[in-house]
Amino acid sequence: MTTLSIATISGKTAYIPPEALLTLKGGLRGSALVKDEDGYDMARSIWNGMVDRSPGLIVRCHGAADVMRSVDFARERDLVVAVRGGGHNIAGNAVCEGGLMIDLSPMNSVRVDPAIRRAWVGPGATLGDVDRETQAFGLAVPTGINSTTGISGLTLGGGFGWLTRKYGLTIDSLVSADVVTADGRLLRASAEENPDLFWAIRGGGGNFGIVTSFEFNLHPVGPEVLSGLVVHPFDRAGEMLRSYREAVSDAPEELTCWVVMRRAPPLPFLPAEWHGREVLIFAMCYAGDLSEGERVTQKLRSLGNPIADVVGPHRFVDWQSAFDPLLTTGARNYWKSHDFETLQDGALDLITQAVRDLPGNECELFIAHVGGAMSRVAPDATAYPQRTAHFVMNVHTRWRENKDDNACIAWARSLFRATEPFATGSAYVNFMPDDEADRIEKVYGANYPRLAKIKGRYDPRNMFRMNQNIRPAQ
């Protein structure tokens, strides 16, 4: 075994002698991997294929003690640290170049107590892991829309999806979390214990420590929901988007409908002649009585002349994974995102024109409608600042070859700039790429100064900087 070189925060190199590495490994329940060891390449591979970084050391944690030991090891040597939960983050912050990667993916336990409607979830669990356990009892945590997403990153950034209008953001169901802070302590964060830390981790991302366990309230959902897609030709997109805007304005909180615009994938229910052509899709979910859902969704389903309508009863756990085939690991991805209070005509015109010029068959743009229960929480009650009912636009470019990088990224940035005059200035941090550091303060708005103070209290040296980083106030 040779001396190990690892990158430090100061830009220098730390040299780890063999005996120090052996001591670290001997104290772990999990494992520590260096380059060329079995499992190293798999551990460093994440969802976004644009990110190809090689950590100097990867610790695969099996419990809070492993996390504490890893944090101590990093702090004592001033190492660059990245933390991996599900590895799904668009910015690729789960993996660092040359530093220490703390991998939480083995910590994927989910325990449910149906009597009190609570779940205790490990930071390496995916949304699919959570859904399969909670849906066994007809319960759910309001999370995202892709089952391979990690619960940890989703929650720390706020978390929204099909149940947000009915039950709020993911953080609104968070009861407590166990957090390893930069000094190596394990703290419980809740409304009663370390409430400032609890406030900050609900939307402030991974800036304040490493969560080793989440405790969630659960809500009655399913096991079946009315859900599915209504697919329209794109030639009437402008009209359809304006009708959509009106239809969702008074929708009940049980109903969530998002718009997806892209070239049609070869879905089995679409006629072959539509494959590869631009379409507008209403993706909807009604989290309530199925017969009432049939009545409520008619307003949206009766719009225009759809190519296909496959809305019907589906198991919620299946609906949660319905988009997985379009979001598999390994493709190159770049996102840009805005929040809109309303869908103004000018923004809709820009969006529809951009979709007519898509740079690739896997590129898409979606508009999510959120509000309801989420909007009844005060903007300063949690770190997540944008609590008004609003629309989230995510410009999602996705492609396979390096040669297409410039065209796809330029398309996304162009639409982002063009629609900026219609946006609120806030954003969902989980949708932000790694080139938007100058946007963080504006995104958090009035909550930013408090976040910076709490960061200074719990992580004054900014050990946890591989994120949408909040700089510590001294």
* Domain spans, the chain: 4-103, 110-221+447-458, 224-431
CATH of 4-103, one of 3.30.43.10, 3.40.50.720, 3.40.109.10, 1.20.58.100: 3.30.43.10
pLDDT band at 474 (very low <50, low <70, confident <90, very high): confident
Q: What is the CATH number of domain 224-431?
A: 3.40.462.20
pLDDT given at position 2? 85
pLDDT digits (tens, 9 = 90+) for 278-312: 999 999 999 999 999 999 999 999 999 999 999 99
Confidence of residue 248 (pLDDT cuts 50, 70, 90): very high
Structurally, at CATH architecture level, domain 110-221+447-458 sits in: 2-Layer Sandwich (3.30)
SS (H, E, C) the chain: CCCEEEEECCCCEEEECHHHHHHHHHCCCCEEECCCCCCHHHHHCCCCCCCCCCCCEEEECCCHHHHHHHHHHHHHHCECEEEECCCCCCCCCCCCCCCEEEECCCCCCEEEECCCCEEEECCCCEHHHHHHHHHHHCEECCCCCCCCCEHHHHHHHCCCCCCHHHHCCHHHHEEEEEEECCCCCEEEEECCCCHHHHHHHCCCHHHCCEEEEEEEECEECCCEEEEEEEEEEHHHHHHHHHHHHHHHHHCCCCEEEEEEEEECCCCCCCCHHHCCCEEEEEEEEECCCHHHHHHHCHHHHCCCCCCEECCEEEEHHHHCCCCHHHCCCCCEEEEEEEEECCCCHHHHHHHHHHHCCCCCCCCEEEEEEECHHHHHCCCCCCCCCCCCCEEEEEEEEEECCHHHHHHHHHHHHHHHHHHHHHCCCCCCHHHCCCCCHHHHHHHHHHHHHHHHHHHHHHCCCCCCCCCCCCCCCC
135 pLDDT tier (thresholds 50, 70, 90): very high
User: Percentage of residues in the chain with pLDDT exceeding 70?
Assistant: 100
pLDDT at 1 over 70: no
Residue 321 pLDDT exceeds 80? yes
- pTM score, two decimals? 0.96
Mean pLDDT, rounded, of the chain: 96
